[in-house]
Copies of this chain bind each other. A is one copy, B any other.
């Protein structure tokens, strides 16, 4: 997602301050996780962060599910010198929508990710080498099972709320269906109960760029002494291209037009040269996004996580969407964004319709924003207006 929009609330508000990523080992043999594929897998190291304090009754936990390329670092900084705040910093902190003076906020890097939780870049303890493509096939359900296990290991049987956008929203929906008694509420943003065929198509093209990169080496591109800094090895071009493409789908046509239009990057005059591939500002921007991305993300993780998105299909798994979401009595808040064409509002309306048919409590709004799919990361104030009373009511009825 477009991390240039990351910002804190202002320099006079320290937010959650300095935070540290924590690690926990789960599913160690012989208690391995049985994946949706049937394969057994473990141990799994989970990287997570927490903000705020858990009450003695352990009834104030909010679990944040991150999107495709996110991580556990939702809020604050890792050191005073950190240039960047966590990816949803404006939403999480004292007095913010996920108020850390009231709530205990948890976020974990997903299974298969590359930001600390076990994924293809992790060392397979059996071989002493990174998993690469020997990493097992994972699903959104598998990610959620790991999240749930992390909560249990922290002593939390039931979370006050689970919240996420995009792939994070898919995790929210899956959580409601898979562990229906373990959540009191769910906030599902810019998401869907399945990816559209168009979404699968874009993912397929992105993955093909990675596969076709001569430095892919069938996923075995890590240094002999273990994974180096991202971007120095592996399918750099393929991964950057996949990101450039995905980035287009995260923005609305209107936002691209407003932000870049047909403006040139370096001159007022067209160059009439074929190979000037960053002549238009939009080209330069996408190249920059691609280059930045390969510094922080692993190509194999990108393959596994996008495929998990493709596979996600709540209705297919549970018989129908109504049956899937009717399993829980959690209260729902659903938002979509009018310019989001990757996860269009029609898909959120399907979720809402299923919840209504199942006689569940659900609030839905299509929020107005120019930012397309990325809106859930950017339009924090609109979201806060809904989330604050929603959480308060849920907590009160606990």
Contact = CB atoms under 8 A, between A and B. Distances in A.
Contacts of A275: 133
A241 interface: yes
Interface in A1-50: 36-38
A197 B344 contact: no
A393 interface: no
Given A211-B277, A241-B212, A273-B137, A256 B204 contact: no
A214 interface: yes
Number of copies: 2
B274 A303 contact: yes
A349 interface: no
Contact of A208 (B38, B241, B253): B241
Given A241-B212, A280-B200, A282-B197, A274 B137 contact: yes
A389 interface: no
Interface string A255-281: 011001110000000101111010010
Interface string A213-250: 11000000000000000000000011001001100100
A262 B204 contact: no
A282 B200 contact: yes
A280 B306 CA distance: 14
Max chain B C-beta neighbours (<10 A), residue from A137, A257, A262, A307:
A262
Given A198-B251, A198-B256, A212-B238, 4 more contacts: A137-B273, A204-B282, A205-B244, A253-B341
